[in-house]
Amino acid sequence: MSSVKIVLRKNKTSDGKYPLVIRVTKDRKTSYIGLGVHVREQDWDKANQRVKKSHANSKRLNNLLIQRLAEATDSALELEANAPNVSVTAVRQKIKPSAGSTVFPQADLYLTRLKDEGKFNQYSANKSRVKHLKTFLKNDVNFSELTIGTLERFKAHLKFAYSMSERSAVNHLVLVRSIFSQAIKDGVCDPKYYPFGKGKLKIKFPDSVKVGLTLEEVQKIEDAELSHEADHARNLWLISFYFAGMRVSDVFRLKWSDFSDGRLNYKMGKNEKAGSLKVPAKAQVILDHYEKFKVNANGLVFPELQKTDLSNKFETQRLIAVKTKNVDELLKNQVATKCDIQKKLTMHIARHTFAQIAGDRIPIQLLQKLYRHSSITTTMGYQSNFTHKDTDSALELVIGN
């Protein structure tokens, strides 16, 4: 008789969580089936095979685990009733049948996992891409049928049917690559069918033009007389700029407890990298203004996420996307118009603006620390969009000033 349990595997991920799996044991041999769920060790009740209430989505997740465990147990019992001497591999295959090796179920599973992991931005972007893939294929297919030729036709279809840019079409191929990787990792797709990589289909992102504001344009924003709403949007943008192009999601999440002794200490939400920055005098003026209204129960500096349960990652990311859109509209329609700025003005442009003004004046190693990039290669690639000194000098040598 085989044993079927849900266990926490001790394979710690980069975010400090562990995967939950179905463990099948028969004749002292063990096999594991991934559930696509990761939790913190302190949130797992080993004895009861349940997630503790300390987990943000414990009720929904436990319902899922109960369902998966019941299905797995029923499948194992059914198989062994007809063939008592089957192997643990056969039991595993019965629990996780090959039907999941087709593209559509794996695409749906990929979206479900993004949602369960609280990744609203990725979920939102990829939901339409999955729809486009299904529309193109018309019917579900095996991964073996998703060939290089099929994917090249898919890319051409996207450009023709939806007038997509090269970048948007490539993002669809990135989705397909992620679905392939998931299926291979879960053991439902043979790696030999993987169509990407050396000698196969290569994913290459087209170069994009990144433009920031000049120092004079920043000064216009600082000095402008604005309405109350536009003034708030301007303050958010300047805080992002003053702190080396801080991402808007981190601006919204800033807490008063992040500031001490004239410094800002916080972890970047995108990669969890910690750092400390001196609070510039201009930034302190803005902070002093908001400190007068410090009534927020969760200690946030700005009001955008004031009534949000920050432990619910999916809802938090969804609200950040909505609030960012609102702020960008104010920046575009009121701040840029008032300051006579013709360039596109958004929260993200604050990051480009810092990079453009930094130019060649700050050593690349320091910029890496300010941007909190894991690799200096990333910093060099990003900064190259804003560093024009060498090319300008070369051009002047040929044609003059």
pLDDT digits (tens, 9 = 90+) for 205-223: 887 767 778 899 999 999 9
Say which range, 144-153, 197-206, 268-277, 364-373, has the weakest mean pLDDT: 364-373
All structural domains of the chain with their residue ranges: 3-96, 101-193, 215-358
The percentage of residues in the chain with a pLDDT greater than 70, rounded to a whole number, is 82
Say which range, 166-170, 181-185, 291-295, has the weakest mean pLDDT: 291-295
- Mean pLDDT of all residues in 2-17: 84
CATH class of 215-358: mainly alpha
Work out the pLDDT band at 99, boundaries 50, 70, 90.
very low
Same fold, 101-193 and 215-358: no
CA distance linking residue 323 with residue 325, whole number of Å? 5
pLDDT digits (tens, 9 = 90+) for 26-44: 888 888 887 778 889 999 9
What global pTM score does this model have? 0.65
Q: What is the pLDDT of residue 393?
A: 54
Say which range, 11-20, 189-198, 276-285, has the weakest mean pLDDT: 11-20
Q: Is 96 left (phi over 0), alpha (psi -120 to 50) or beta?
A: beta
CATH number corresponding to 101-193? 1.10.150
pLDDT digits (tens, 9 = 90+) for 134-148: 999 998 888 888 999
